[in-house]
Structures are given as C-alpha cells and as structure tokens.
Amino acid sequence: MESSPPLISPPPQPRRRRACVTFLTTVVLVSSGCTAAEKGRDRPRTSASTHHAPGVVTPAAPAANAMLPGMPPPLKPDDLYAAIRPNALSDKVKNHLYRVYVPNNESDTLSVIDPTTYQVIETVPVPHSPQHVVPSWDLSTLLINTDTAPYDSITPIDPTTGKVGTTIPVDDPYNLYFTPDGKYAMVMAELRRKIHFADPKTFQIHDSLDVDCEGVNHADFSPDGRYFIASCEFSGDLLKIDTETHKLIGKIHLPHEGAGPQDVKISPDGRTWYVADMHANGVWVFDGDKFTTPTLLPTGAGAHGLYPSRDSKYMYISNRGEGSVSLLEFATGKLVAKWNIPGGGSPDMGGLSPDGKVLWLSGRYHSEVYAIDTTDGHLIARIRTGAGPHGLCVWPQPGRYSLGHTGILR
C-alpha cells in the first residue's frame, strides 16, 4: 500500500509516418499540404504505407428531431451537459466507491486514490502499458485499456468493490468510446489505423472502419448522435464519421505544420466544436455540422485535455507542456483565466469530482496527480503515483450514460 499526503512537491511498439490528404467540405475542394516532419507522441512509430483518400462531401446537419435511434435525448435541447450537474448521480452508481483510478503507463500499475484524503490507498498490477480508465456506456463497469502487443486488452474494474477483474483480449485499444445508443463500443485502434465497432460487453468486433490517418484516438458526438468527430494525432487530421453506417463523411487536415490534435469536445449548445492540439499549443474551434477549416485559439504549450464544468459555463483545458490549466467561457468563446501549477507539471487527462469543485489531472511526466480547486485554481494536492500516469478516471460521475474516454457523460 502506498500513500501520499496533500500538498507534497514532486520530487514498444513502433508506428507510422504522415500522409498528404485532400478533403472536400460542402462543395469546395481544398488541398492540404504534407507536413515537413512528424511530431511523435509518447511511443515511437514505424513507417507504413499511406493512401490518398478521395474527397468526401459533408451532408447538411440532421433535423433536431432526427436523433440516433435508441439514444437517450438531451435533458435540455440547448445543453448537452444538463445531466452532469453537481452530484446528480444516477441510481446506477450510488453504491459505487468514490475513487480516482490512475493507470500508470510506464510502471504497469493502477494507482487507486481516495479523493477524500488525497492519498493512494492501493497499487494494483495491470497488463503492460495501460492507457485510460473508461466508464462503460451503462455505467456498470470501468475499463482499463492496454494497447501494447502482445498485451492488447481491456481489463474491467468493479466500481462497487474497486477490484480488477479478468482481462479480455481486444485488438489495439488505445482508447475507448461508446455510440450514444449503447449499441457499440468504439475501439480506437490507432496502430491498426482502424476504429473497431464492437459489442459493448464482450468486445467482439462487429465491423471496422479503416481510417486514412495516423493516431486516431479521441472523439466526441453531435447533439443528435448521428455523427462523431475523431482526431488523428500523428497526421494532424480530423475525421467526421456517420454513427449508424460507420462510414467516413468528412476529413480535414489541420492548417498547422506538425499539428497534434488530442481531446475533442462539443459546446453545451452543440454549435461549436473544440479540439486540443499539443503541437499548435491551443484549441481548434469550428462548426461540426459544416465541418469547415478550424481556427486556432492559443491556450498554452501542449494543450491536451478538455473538460466542461458542472454548470456548463466553462471548459477546463490542460496545457501539458507548460503545467497550466486554461479556462474557456462557452458563452463568449474567450479565455478568462489561466491557472499555473506551482513548480510546474505535466497535466494530461482526467476529470472533475462529482460536485465539480475539484479538477483531477494526471501529471504524465512527473509521476503524480494534481487536484485543483475549480473556484480559484489553487493546487489542493499533488499525489505521487507510478510512472507515466495517463487517462485517470474520477468515479462515480453525474450523468445517465457514458460516451467513453475518461468520463464523457450525458
């Protein structure tokens, strides 16, 4: 057992190259140039053959009443996050332990933190190179993703006991999402250049979409659930994909040399999309329905994770390269604050406490986790973990169902 008091200062699989792409947005064909050099992530990649995708036409946005069949409708038509108000826990999770689960990518362990004491209460061995801890669509299980061969797998955690279960072999699960109707798990198989659509319980693959990009790994869904937008970290692309047909309907190459898109998030009113870019040091802003070329909003070095506040007014943006968190106001689209972690750090992925008062982020390169007060941005605690803490999950969370990642609930 390990423990760390609050406010303590912190003391392979090869993959790919970039490809030129062209894309057609509405009726205008735009040709994007190849980047001069690839910007790597946290693991090396080998070269692989690339293919030029044909131009695709983005259709008009579906009517507001034409939601994806089987998808729970938004509680409020103008607020996708109305169901994640402070402590609005579903009956499904009220008997779940309040914990922060931290996958340590470089030490092959799971650190379990008691968020009431800010201490690690357990360290559990898990399969090699864990990436994210993801809530299942029905909120019944937490899922650890491991994507390094030959350990490619998903390992369940029982949130009522905190115990790790039997590992399930799954092809290249770097990250994991769920379609809004709960029909499919979406395995983001970045090495394979695929998105696998699988059974959300057994993870048996139903079908796969081959993506002509490198590093597909983060996504979010439109208000009606009809499409989702995914980021391709290593080739600097955004993909627009039909949720029902599993077909590509749009592709954009970001207008920044060496772009490295990360987390994807949609605004509460569903009109604006945001994509963090760790190499462009900011957030791309665009209209997802029209899928036009985004504009860059600079936030800080290594922009990485995106998290809406419990009142749907703000978005927290982790800037991993400079050890800060930027605060964006949804109503104005402007940055209103920046919180710097004392002594620096590498804030990566995480989530909010159920009451929304604490933002939890992994310190990817500092073997620690940050607990940040969301009222004024001060650091409540920095907690030592294993090496390479990555996609931590704060659990339980308010909401009715999970779209995946470290806790996108609606």
User: Residue 269: is it exposed, middle or buried by C-beta count within 10 angstroms (0-12/13-18/19+)?
Assistant: middle
Domain assignment present for 12: no
Q: Is 185 left (phi over 0), alpha (psi -120 to 50) or beta?
A: beta
- C-alpha distances in angstroms, 229 versus 124, 342, 407? 34, 35, 17
Domain assignment present for 211: yes
| Each residue's pLDDT expressed in tens, for the chain with a length of 410 residues | 433 333 333 333 334 333 333 333 332 333 333 333 333 344 433 333 333 333 333 333 345 468 999 999 999 999 999 999 999 999 999 999 999 999 999 999 999 999 999 999 999 999 999 999 999 999 999 999 999 989 999 999 999 999 999 999 999 999 999 999 999 999 999 999 999 999 999 999 999 999 999 999 999 999 999 999 999 999 999 999 999 999 999 999 999 999 999 999 999 999 999 999 999 999 999 999 999 999 999 999 999 999 999 999 999 999 999 999 999 999 999 999 999 999 999 999 999 999 999 999 999 999 999 999 999 999 999 999 999 999 999 999 999 999 999 999 99
pTM of the model: 0.86
Domain assignment present for 50: yes
Alpha helices, H only, 67-137: none
Q: What is the CATH number for 356? A: 2.130.10.10
**84: phi then psi, degrees, rounded to nearest 5:** -110, 35
The beta strands (E) that lie in 278-323 are given as 282-286, 295-298, 303-308, 314-319
Q: Two tokens at 354?
A: 């159920």
Strand order in the sheet with 324-329: 303-308, 314-319, 324-329, 334-340
Domain assignment present for 401: no
Residues linked to residue 25 through DSSP beta bridges, in sequence order: 28
Q: What is the dihedral of CA 325, 326, 327, 331, to 10 degrees?
A: -150
Alpha helices, H only, 241-286: none
Q: What is the pLDDT of residue 114?
A: 99
Q: What is the pLDDT of residue 5?
A: 34
| Overall domain count for the chain | 1
Alpha helices, H only, 8-53: none
Contact, 170 vs 192, CB < 8 A? no
Residues linked to residue 31 through DSSP beta bridges, in sequence order: 22
Cis peptide, bond prior to residue 150, ω within 30 of zero? yes
Q: What is the pLDDT of residue 149?
A: 87
Residue 356: helix, strand or coil by DSSP?
A: coil
User: Residue 317: is it exposed, middle or buried by C-beta count within 10 angstroms (0-12/13-18/19+)?
Assistant: buried
Domain assignment present for 10: no
Domain assignment present for 74: no
Domain assignment present for 42: yes
Q: What is the pLDDT of residue 2?
A: 37
Q: Two tokens at 363?
A: 């310190």
Q: What is the pLDDT of residue 65?
A: 62
Q: Rounded CA gap, 385 and 27, in Å?
A: 51
Domain assignment present for 15: no
